Chain A
Amino acid sequence: MEIVVSILIGLLFATAVYLMLARNFLRFLFGLILLSNAANLVIFAAGRMTEGAPALIPYGALTPDGEIANALPQALVLTAIVIGFGLFAFALVLAFQAYRSLGTLDSDEMRVAEPREEIAGEARE
């Protein structure tokens, strides 16, 4: 299954990059979501995948019984999911606020800090 997941990760990266390069900021956010999913899968698959055996220690035992799923990447992915969500939520509010104050979602048009006129003016000087 690692081979299939590797290819899925590649596909998620490809679509994420494609979306993030779009002018529309909402598409950028879509790309961001796909990218964090891809990143989570990278961590998960790098720790190898074991089917149907959660990382649990049975009652009465001191150590796990037989081969179980790798717990370390799972812990990392849990953290990553939550942080990815925090990032996404903030970016969404930022986009929303940017749209309300600038009236556009086109990142090419968001030029309050570097207005086109000013750049053109500097070039003339």
Chain B
Amino acid sequence: MHEMSLCESVVEILAEEARRQGFQRVKTVWLEIGRLASADPEAIRFCFDAVTRATVADGARLEIIDTPGQAWCERCAVTVEIKQRFDACPVCGDFPLRVIDGDALRVKQLEVE
């Protein structure tokens, strides 16, 4: 359940930003969780509520931005969309794919007051 430590890192980032940018409370957090990232959105949601309690983000709404997985096929020399890391290239049906996007775990944006 490393989603718990990921959420603790999110809270640290929020606390740090609150100090730097001088806000009191976070109302909404936009998290980018790529479809190929090593975190489960539902588990993140579950942990987020538990971990934000009594912090600047207590009661904050969590918006998850789901970004598609993208990979480069060396054989076809094209960028293709994949759902899982073990997907075959939809063009040639083979597996020489290298993931180039959709594996990010990022705090994108905050609504604060």
A and B interact: no
Residue ranges of B at the interface with A (Cβ–Cβ < 8 Å) = none
